Structure 1
């Protein structure tokens, strides 16, 4: 009965579906999303494996007795297995304190997105042996240590 109340032309227009411009917009938004994910995704996957590497290092009970070279070798082994390359592997800093060891992986990546548009991503992961349960959240500002060294 509701069909009789609507004019025939109006009913057909309501059932036509999306127009050419509507489909073009959907494809453009999908393409943009796919481009962003394909460009930025690998950096976030590497950051995930950096965090997992620090978690696995925090499970090691003898980390305080390990030398800096041994800690870096352990992380490098984990990064090699999980295909983490580039900036995360070079950004490993180890700071020894009186009662703890701080392993910091703090780096910044610049990824070109389009012609002259870049995306800058910052990652800061830390393992403090005094608080291994808080692994991977930055607890210490590494910049303070760098300023003191200069």
Structure 2
């Protein structure tokens, strides 16, 4: 009878797998927040661009209402210029463009860029 010798993963192979999984999980957890915040921000802007009652208001009032909704949802844009609202011939354009810098490890940062445009027609 010939017996086959059973072997398993070595210590170093197991250590490599654990470190790799840990690295990718750390990156995923750090990048989750900017993407989740952007999802909330874009849903607020999209809802505003589809709300006929909101589109009938002056631009300053629309911006104030959007900022109020951001505050309620506990999100913020990096700066005021990240959301530009323009009115051309009764068509409001909401241009959302910004980037978020996330510190990863030591002096390494990840930069996440977002850019979207929504349009709404004044009633």
* Superposed pair shares fold, TM > 0.5: yes
Q: Does 1 or 2 have the higher relative contact order (CA < 8 Å, sep 6+)?
A: 2
How many corresponding residue pairs? 121
Q: TM-score, normalised by structure 1?
A: 0.70
Tell me the residue number matched to 1:129: 120
Q: Pick from 91, 107, 110: which aligns with 2:98? A: 107
Q: CA RMSD in A?
A: 2.0
Q: Unaligned stretches of 5+ in structure 1?
A: 131-150
Structure 2 counterparts to residues 7-86 of structure 1, below 5 A: 7-8=2-3, 11-13=4-6, 16-86=7-77
Give how far 1:78 is off.
2.2
Structure ranking higher in strand proportion: 2
Tell me the residue number matched to 1:141: none
Distance 1:88 1:125, change over 3 A: farther
